[in-house]
């Protein structure tokens, strides 16, 4: 897993991915710009907490087992 500081925004984005929300939906929920959500997604991918599928879909990222473990650890999932 990469060395990133997991913030509340990262956790909210991770929860959105677990709930199969689009980037636009996640941005609306956390009250941030789409670009901010995209950066958090990149951070989570680098940390190995989410993975990107090959299909070009709006919801093409999936939470990894490490991501689920983090959510359980933080009592969010």
Q: 18-41 pLDDT, tens per residue?
A: 999 999 999 999 999 999 999 999
Question: Given its phi and psi angles, is residue 13 left (phi above 0), alpha (psi -120 to 50 degrees) or beta?
Answer: alpha
Question: What residue ranges do the domains of the chain occupy?
Answer: 8-73
Average pLDDT over residues 46-50: 93
Position 2 scores a pLDDT of: 60
Question: Is the domain covering 8-73 a CATH 1.10.10.10 domain?
Answer: yes
Amino acid 8: pLDDT:
93
For residues 4 and 42, the model is more confident at 42
Tokens of 34: 């789409």
Q: Which residues contact 56 (CB under 8 A, 6 or more apart)?
A: none
pTM: 0.81
């Amino acid at each position: 897993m990469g060395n990133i500081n997991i913030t509340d925004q990262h956790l909210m984005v991770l929860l959105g991915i677990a709930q199969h929300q689009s980037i636009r939906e996640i941005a609306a929920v956390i009250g941030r710009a789409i670009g901010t959500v995209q950066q958090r997604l990149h951070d989570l991918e680098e940390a190995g907490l989410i993975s990107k599928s090959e299909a070009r879909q709006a919801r093409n990222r999936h939470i990894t087992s490490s991501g689920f473990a983090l959510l359980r650890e933080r009592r969010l999932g």
